[in-house]
Amino acid sequence: MRERDDPGVVGRRVQQLRTEQGLTQRQLAEPAYTPAYISTLEAGRVRASDEALRHIADRLGVAFEELAVGRPAHLATALRLRLTEAQRTLADGKAEEAAGQYTALLAEADTHGLVAEQATALLGLGECALETGELSQARDHFERAEHRLAQETLPSRVPAVRGRAIAHYLAGELRYAVYLLESTLDELNRGGLHDPDALLLLYASAIGPYMDMGAHARAAQAAEFALALAPQAADPTLIARMHRSVARTLLAEGRVAEADASLAKAAELYRQLQLRTELANCHWMRGYVCAQNGDLDRAEAELRQALTMLAQTRAALYRSQAAVELADVLHRRGKSAEAAELLNGVLGDLSSERGAVHAAAAHRLLGIIAEDSRDTEAAEEHYVRALSLLERAGAAGDLADLCRLLGDLLRRTGRVEAALDAYRTGLGHRTAPGTTTLGPAPAQPPL
């Protein structure tokens, strides 16, 4: 509860309620206090003790909080219930509607100084903004939530830190996203703050940036820690998210069946929780797994299912990213025209600040399609754009392959020196993937 109002404010509040109920000062005071004490209190010349204020509140038939801070009884509980309803609205894929609910709840929590509820509303607004792809707004909401929780323990602040990291990751700022996640993990583990939910959330969230940076060993380690923490976690949503993220690492290690099983577990949990966006992401990742394993028929079906579900949730950024994965499968199945149309349709939703890695993937694939149709000028333009996006994001794993494609194109068109420069750039990113962009690994959790 926030600090009590000034004696003058409390006194006027007591006098107003007493007068409204037709009570005299003697009736309000007895049997524990005197009418003179009530008169002094109402005049604001004395700061009532908690015991005295509870006596007066009982005589007036109101809650202690209502006298102390002017807050209606049970307001905090009612706000938390409505916050849960907003969370369910967001889980049902109605991000814009949920944002409206969270905005109203934030204003109400601000009015009554309910810090925990303010932070919860801001976290919800951040998640809504992530869903709709408004990444700068998402960062602002998460930063404000973290500020509200400044006096709380680090595990309490972890959802806000993780939200900021994901916003930076989706904007293509991989190194900073990893810095946020790793520094928080390090502080938790070194400080002995063994909170399974907080650790699981951070490790699962780090897998994506690690993979995109080419830091496969660190991604595998994060996955192992996440799997070890899962039985201790109380939140099934975190467990489901963890299974989806871990699948990526399992696939990189060639453990396809285990990756598919991990995604199946996540999908079932999300289906039970009715979290449509996350369930759509599970179909997306299953499609990715199938594509890497050569099962293109099933990959296309899973990715189309993901797109359909994401279209229902209005999760524009995630929808655009899934569309890039689907376009890759379509191209591999000989449907290049459909793939190009899909890519050109989503490039407007992607940029260096919004989904940079997938924007680069879209340009890379458009370059390959252009090469197939012998349009070398368009192919080179797409490769160069992709290279710029990946260099800014620090996605080392994809940079090396792209430099090879660009080098091959330049060599075929007779520009040998330029081709050599492209190959050298690629070789630089193939050297110890991830080690040039990451510092020491964070301290390990006390498992």
* Cβ pair 226, 200 in contact under 8 A: yes
Instruction: Please give the share of the chain, as a percent, with pLDDT higher than 90.
Output: 34
Q: In DSSP terms, which residues pair with 354 in a beta bridge?
A: 351
Give the position of tokens 């690492």.
Answer: 249
Tell whether the model's pLDDT for residue 1 goes beyond 50: no
CA nearest to 324, candidates 350, 292, 305, 301: 350
Tell whether the model's pLDDT for residue 43 goes beyond 70: yes
Q: What is the model's pLDDT at position 180? A: 94
Q: How far is CA 222 from CA 24, 154, 200, 245, 442, in A?
A: 67, 20, 9, 10, 10
- Which pLDDT band holds residue 62 (cuts at 50, 70, 90)? confident
- Rounded-to-integer distance, Cα 447 and Cα 48, Å: 50
Q: What is the mean pLDDT of residues 232-251?
A: 74
Asked if the peptide bond before residue 31 counts as cis, ω within 30 degrees of 0, the response is: yes
Q: What is the DSSP letter of 62?
A: S
- Rounded-to-integer distance, Cα 161 and Cα 155, Å: 10
When the pLDDT of each residue in the chain is averaged and rounded to a whole number, the result is 84
Q: What is the model's pLDDT at position 347? A: 86
- Which pLDDT band holds residue 434 (cuts at 50, 70, 90)? very low
* Cβ pair 173, 428 in contact under 8 A: no
- Rounded-to-integer distance, Cα 399 and Cα 405, Å: 10
- Which pLDDT band holds residue 446 (cuts at 50, 70, 90)? low
Q: How far is CA 373 from CA 222, 283, 328, 332, 361, in A?
A: 42, 31, 16, 15, 19
The neighbour count for residue 125, using CB atoms within 10 Å, is 28
Q: What is the model's pLDDT at position 95? A: 87
Q: What is the model's pLDDT at position 2? A: 53
394: left (phi over 0), alpha (psi -120 to 50) or beta: left
Q: What are phi and psi of 351, to 5 degrees?
A: -160, -175
| 281 or 175, greater pLDDT | 175
- Which pLDDT band holds residue 346 (cuts at 50, 70, 90)? confident
Residue-wise pLDDT tens digits, 142-176: 999 999 999 889 999 999 999 999 999 988 888 89
